[in-house]
Amino acid sequence: MPEEHGRRKKVAIIGAGAAGMSCASTLANHPDRFEISLFDIADYTGGQATSIPLDSSRHGAEWLNDGVQGGSPIFRHTFNFFRRYGYEPQPVKLQVSFGKGTDSFWTNVFPSPLVDRYSDEIRKLGRALKWIKRLMPILGVMPVKVILRLFRFSRDFSNKMVLPLMALFLGTGNQTPNVSSVLLERLFDDPQMRLWDYDPDTLLPNQPGMSTFPNLSDFYRDWAADVAARGVDLRLNTTVDILRRDKHGVSLQSRPADFQPGSSTSSAEEFDELVLCVPADEAKSLLGSNATWRENFVLGGVKFYNDLTITHSDSQYFSSIFQTRYASDVCAPASNESRKKQIDFARKEARTRSDGWEGFAPMYYIHSYVSDPAKIEMGFDCTHYQHQFRETFGHDVPAPEPDRHVYQTIFLDDRQKHLWTCEGIQKDKIIARKDWHQFGHRWQHYLRVVPGMMFINGNNHTVYAGSWTMVNMHEIACISGIAAAYRLGATYEAFDDFAEDCFGKYLLVCHGIRYKRATCGNGESS
């Protein structure tokens, strides 16, 4: 989209997380065409992608990524930004642990009695996945809880196997029953996005390849320094009010986040375009009376939940909640050669290797509440998962004693506080506490919000970006920011066929624009 009379287009971006940084970085590739101001209320960039310091003498590493930890091989845009600044994601073979004890435990590492108990339903799930794929427009949008009832799965199988599996890898938490079933099908069947090889014997037979992220605070610091050096006016610790949006553009007023009433305020600033890279509820609040009925409808359809993450080193608490070690009573018989190999692997002493661990060393955990089995807590053994710990320990060495590990327990939806077990964590072993504001992937999200994005993007000189526009992943946040920049006239720099295809699909769904390969963004509708 050409600028009139050679004047640079003034763009205001609110929110300096993954979406805002991706948008600013893409626009900054055209300094002759865009004048960019990037605002954030925090005094750092990265949003939820943060790192915290650790006592390296105790834990074996100086830092921990505590919000966003890693991703699958589909995170092409994320990894491309990492590598641009000399940061390399590190491979890890993923091990998971669901439940605890013979009644509820199962894993992708070795067979368990629970897997044998539900062998018929595991095979039925394979058939259900095929039907979801065949009847995608109808079954795919239905909530998982409806599909599980439709195919007559037992409540125990649903609560102990299917829902925890989805919750862990989609980040959907206690809203998993309301998630569209297409996401379950994609976990197993999508040739490019699947994590698991479906197995009618044990359900999950493989340890999928994932990647752990580099020090995110360092990465975002370097990324921010680069965009500032390329002309972006980076204004952190700043709040913004939207005064006006009309055919002439957007009027904003900014002030320091610690602004005191009675202090002098800045004058209004005029911008040609506004990019809102903040959560949907915050965007709706910023727009206030300036919001259109379409914006209120779409943005109001995003449901948020308040969660708590506690980072700690309380191994006694962690092992009381989750199955952290191999034990013979939670292992099913080695009835075939595949099972025998899995059990032989799991029984080994946990030792480091370049892409994870030899032996049973879970990284992701799920705990379901006895009083309400559909509700869960999530856990991470960050020492097993994040690569910086293995790099410190060295290759082919045993894991440190449990109390030197760094754990995270995530307590979901503060309306369910009466279920939380956080009081069991020893206070002197707590490293950090953080509150999170996360959106839920309800089936309504995919009927109201995602298809509605194309009807609000670009109207009133306003574009939206953030993971909430589709799926809660760092990768989607990056793609959405690049798409917003493309919508304003920036060029998409292709570097990978799969990444380019994902970008094109996102652009079509959320902007109603057909991506044209090897051309500049031109804002033409499909």
Q: Which pLDDT belongs to residue 184?
A: 86
Whole-number Å distance between alpha carbons of 113 and 423:
31
**CB-neighbour burial class of residue 419 (10 A; exposed 0-12, middle 13-18, buried 19+):** middle
| E runs forming strands in 176-222 | 209-212
What residues does each domain of the chain span? 9-49+215-301+443-511, 51-212+305-439
Lookup: tokens for 399: 């894991």
Judge contact between 462 and 250, C-beta under 8 A.
Answer: yes
Q: Which pLDDT belongs to residue 40?
A: 97
Whole-number Å distance between alpha carbons of 496 and 380:
31
Q: Which pLDDT belongs to residue 67?
A: 86
**DSSP letters spanning 282-346:** HHHHHHGGG--HHHHHHHTT--EEEEEEEEE--HHHHHHHS--S--GGG-----SHHHHHHHHHH
For residue 98, the one-letter residue type is: F
> Mean pLDDT of successive 10-residue segments in the chain (526 residues)?
69 98 98 97 95 96 93 94 97 95 95 96 94 88 92 94 84 80 84 80 91 97 98 96 94 86 76 97 95 96 94 97 96 95 95 93 94 91 96 91 96 93 97 91 87 96 96 94 97 95 96 80 42
Lookup: tokens for 448: 């109201």
Q: Which pLDDT belongs to residue 525?
A: 40
- The pairing of strands 96-98 and 364-368 is parallel
User: Which residues lie closer than 8 Å to 434 by C-beta, 6 or more apart?
Assistant: 66, 67, 308, 309, 311
Judge contact between 243 and 252, C-beta under 8 A.
Answer: yes
For residue 152, the one-letter residue type is: R
| pTM assigned to the model | 0.92
Q: How many residues comprise the chain?
A: 526
Lookup: tokens for 268: 């209004």
Whole-number Å distance between alpha carbons of 8 and 2:
9
Lookup: tokens for 428: 């002197």
Judge contact between 356 and 70, C-beta under 8 A.
Answer: no
Closest C-alpha among 510, 141, 452, 474 to residue 299: 452
Q: How many C-beta neighbours within 10 Å does residue 320 have?
A: 13
Lookup: tokens for 227: 């965009």
DSSP 19: H
Q: Which pLDDT belongs to residue 477?
A: 97
Closest C-alpha among 299, 235, 295, 237 to residue 269: 235
The number of CA neighbours under 13 Å toward the Cβ of 202 is 27
Mapped onto helix, strand or coil, the DSSP state of residue 308 is: strand
Rounded to the nearest 10°, the torsion over CA 254, 257, 258, 264 is 0
Whole-number Å distance between alpha carbons of 59 and 63:
9
How far, CA to CA in Å, does 420 sit from each of 13, 170, 276, 370? 37, 21, 34, 12
Right CATH for 9-49+215-301+443-511 from 3.90.1150.10, 3.40.1010.10, 3.50.50.60, 3.40.50.1820: 3.50.50.60
DSSP 268: P
Taking the CA atoms of 215, 219, 220 and 221 in sequence, report the sign of the dihedral they define.
positive
**CB-neighbour burial class of residue 371 (10 A; exposed 0-12, middle 13-18, buried 19+):** exposed
Q: How many C-beta neighbours within 10 Å does residue 328 have?
A: 7
Cα 49 → chain centroid:
10
Q: Which pLDDT belongs to residue 382?
A: 97
- The pairing of strands 34-39 and 9-14 is parallel
List the beta bridge partners of residue 484: none
